[in-house]
């Protein structure tokens, strides 16, 4: 153990100066110090892994500990760095359970450990320890949340910048390839034409992806305000243009189409660009994830001064268990049939965000293996802009 903690008095002083522990009475502090056990971990040593039993915790005296979390692809991602005077395994001290993170030493690390049984025994005599540890957890949670928000904002800005810079050159490449296929620069054989068509399709896919990222970048801007357009005819200005736009994609998959609207005129107030994005996301998904030779049904109506847009399709659908992932950023469902098809996990999140901005909502229903339906609703009058 370090020289500065070589006796009982030093240990008491160390614990007393920790955040939120200064109000603990001396007699309880003495009892706590008696339960603490010094331990030394070496550089790169793993203190615990995800899934390990969580029956003890520690406070760092010297050194630093890197905290890792396993991503969906199995990669270990650094999510936090614990420094001297900070606690580790706090949640497991209060609620017994398995570890959720991997802790790895950065350099040699000295800690004071305490097991759950000893801590529980102390808590039975006085609640001040529980209160102090709960304050530590609350402080850590607030700090991590703030840092996560800053990181997301930074990554979104970088994503938006990179997407914007890529858009022009890729668009130019697609245009050049299209000129070549029309043989303006000389004749081509069939093999050359086929290669160019594939390049054009890949370029269009990238442009579509870039547009999604640019839309996401705008939606994540905390200063975003709705650009309300009055007197938007939801049928003629949004729904029918999008149906026409995706008709060729639908016909390529031989998908039958049903379209229901009570009236050709449905006047709303909305940010028309965002509503176009929201509806097109649902229509594109219905075609992309729909069955070959299946059916899509679109219905538009008004319910209690609220515009209602439904898109239903035959397809693999999703389970009730997976439905809570639908509107999370970059999230994809753990469904083998859906995993075979490309996707970014951006479209439905963007649609959810757009509905939030319009004081509306998006709802989803499905019978797994048979069909899925998504429903957008928002007030036809946007009298007050919702706060971000």
Instruction: Please give the average per-residue pLDDT across 90-102, as a whole number.
Output: 74
C-alpha to C-alpha distance for 113 and 124, rounded to whole angstroms: 19
Do 163 and 184 fall into the same domain?
yes
pLDDT over 90 (residue 11): no
Whole-number pLDDT of residue 162? 66
What is the CATH number for 39? 2.60.120.10
Do 262 and 339 fall into the same domain?
yes
DSSP 8-state class, residue 295: E
Q: What are the φ/ψ torsions at residue 173 (nearest 5 degrees)?
A: -65, -40
C-alpha to C-alpha distance for 73 and 165, rounded to whole angstroms: 28
Tell me, yes or no, whether 357 lies in a domain: yes
Do 88 and 202 fall into the same domain?
no
Q: Is 236 within 8 Å of 275 (Cβ atoms)?
A: no
Tell me, yes or no, whether 102 lies in a domain: yes
Q: Which residue has the higher pLDDT, 124 or 222?
A: 124
pLDDT over 80 (residue 210): no
Do 177 and 106 fall into the same domain?
no
Q: Which residue has the higher pLDDT, 383 or 25?
A: 25
Angle at 356 between CA 146 and CA 307, to 5 degrees: 175
Q: What is the pTM of this model?
A: 0.51
What is the CATH number for 317? 3.30.565.10
User: 258 - beta bridge partners?
Assistant: 297
Look at the chain and report how many structural domains it folds into.
3
Tell me, yes or no, whether 356 lies in a domain: yes
Cα-based distances in Å from 309 to 120, 182, 277, 315: 55, 40, 13, 19
Tell me, yes or no, whether 134 lies in a domain: no
Q: Which residue has the higher pLDDT, 341 or 288?
A: 288
Do 171 and 295 fall into the same domain?
no
Which among 17-21, 165-169, 180-184 has the top mean pLDDT?
180-184
Whole-number pLDDT of residue 195? 87
Q: Which residue has the higher pLDDT, 288 or 157?
A: 288
Question: What percent of the chain lies above the pLDDT cut of 70?
Answer: 79
Among residues 71, 93, 126, the one where a domain terminates is 126
Do 200 and 266 fall into the same domain?
no
Tell me, yes or no, whether 66 lies in a domain: yes
Whole-number pLDDT of residue 29? 77
Do 258 and 369 fall into the same domain?
yes
3-state DSSP assignment of residue 132: helix
Cα(first)–Cα(last) distance of the chain, in Å? Answer: 50
Among residues 109, 126, 143, the one where a domain terminates is 126
For the stretch 275-301, pLDDT in tens is 988 998 899 899 988 999 999 999 999
Tell me, yes or no, whether 73 lies in a domain: yes
Reported confidence tier of residue 3, pLDDT bands at 50, 70, 90? very low
Among residues 84, 109, 126, the one where a domain terminates is 126
Do 73 and 14 fall into the same domain?
yes
Do 236 and 365 fall into the same domain?
yes
Instruction: Please give the residue range of the domain that contains residue 252.
Output: 229-379
Reported confidence tier of residue 20, pLDDT bands at 50, 70, 90? confident
User: 45 - beta bridge partners?
Assistant: none
pLDDT over 90 (residue 333): no
Give the chain's mean pLDDT: 81
For the stretch 300-331, pLDDT in tens is 999 888 999 999 999 988 888 777 778 876 66
Reported confidence tier of residue 222, pLDDT bands at 50, 70, 90? low
Do 8 and 68 fall into the same domain?
yes
Tell me, yes or no, whether 141 lies in a domain: no
Q: CA quadruple 333, 334, 335, 341: dihedral positive or negative?
A: positive
Going by C-alpha positions, the residue among 49, 59, 219 that lies closest to residue 133 is 59
Tell me, yes or no, whether 182 lies in a domain: yes
Do 241 and 311 fall into the same domain?
yes
Reported confidence tier of residue 221, pLDDT bands at 50, 70, 90? low
Do 177 and 55 fall into the same domain?
no
């Amino acid at each position: 153990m370090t020289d500065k903690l070589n006796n009982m008095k030093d240990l008491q002083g160390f614990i007393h100066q920790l955040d939120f522990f200064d109000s603990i009475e001396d007699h309880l502090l003495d009892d706590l110090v008696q339960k603490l056990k010094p331990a030394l971990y070496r550089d790169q040593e793993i203190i615990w892994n995800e899934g390990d039993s969580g029956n003890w915790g520690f406070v760092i005296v010297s050194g630093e500990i890197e905290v890792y979390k396993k991503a969906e692809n199995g990669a270990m991602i650094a999510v936090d760095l614990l420094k001297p005077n900070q606690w580790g395994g706090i949640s497991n001290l209060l609620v017994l359970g398995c570890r959720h993170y991997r802790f790895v030493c950065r350099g040699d690390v000295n800690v004071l450990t305490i097991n759950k049984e000893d801590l529980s025994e102390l808590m039975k005599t006085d609640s001040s320890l529980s209160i102090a540890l709960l304050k530590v957890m609350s402080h850590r949670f607030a700090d991590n949340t703030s840092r996560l928000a800053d990181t997301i904002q930074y990554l979104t800005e970088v994503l938006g910048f990179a997407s914007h810079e890529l858009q022009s050159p890729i668009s130019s490449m697609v245009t050049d390839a299209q000129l070549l296929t029309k043989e303006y620069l000389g004749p081509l054989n069939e093999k050359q034409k086929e290669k160019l068509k594939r390049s054009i399709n890949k370029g269009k896919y990238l442009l579509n992806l870039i547009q999604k990222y640019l839309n996401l970048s705008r939606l994540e801007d905390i200063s975003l305000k709705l650009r309300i357009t009055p007197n938007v005819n939801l049928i003629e200005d949004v729904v029918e243009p999008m149906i026409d736009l995706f008709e060729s994609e639908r016909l390529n998959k031989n998908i039958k189409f049903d379209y229901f609207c009570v009236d050709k005129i449905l006047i709303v107030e909305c940010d028309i660009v965002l509503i176009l994005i929201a509806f097109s996301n649902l229509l594109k998904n219905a075609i992309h994830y729909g069955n070959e030779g299946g059916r899509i049904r679109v219905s538009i109506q008004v319910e209690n001064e609220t515009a209602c847009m439904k898109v239903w399709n035959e397809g693999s659908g999703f389970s009730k268990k997976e439905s809570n992932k639908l509107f999370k950023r970059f999230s994809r469902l753990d469904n083998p049939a859906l995993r075979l098809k490309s996707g970014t996990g951006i479209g439905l999140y963007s649609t959810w965000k757009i509905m939030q901005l319009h004081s509306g909502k998006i709802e989803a229903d499905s019978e797994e293996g048979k069909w899925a339906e998504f429903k957008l609703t928002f007030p036809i009058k946007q009298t007050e802009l919702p706060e971000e």
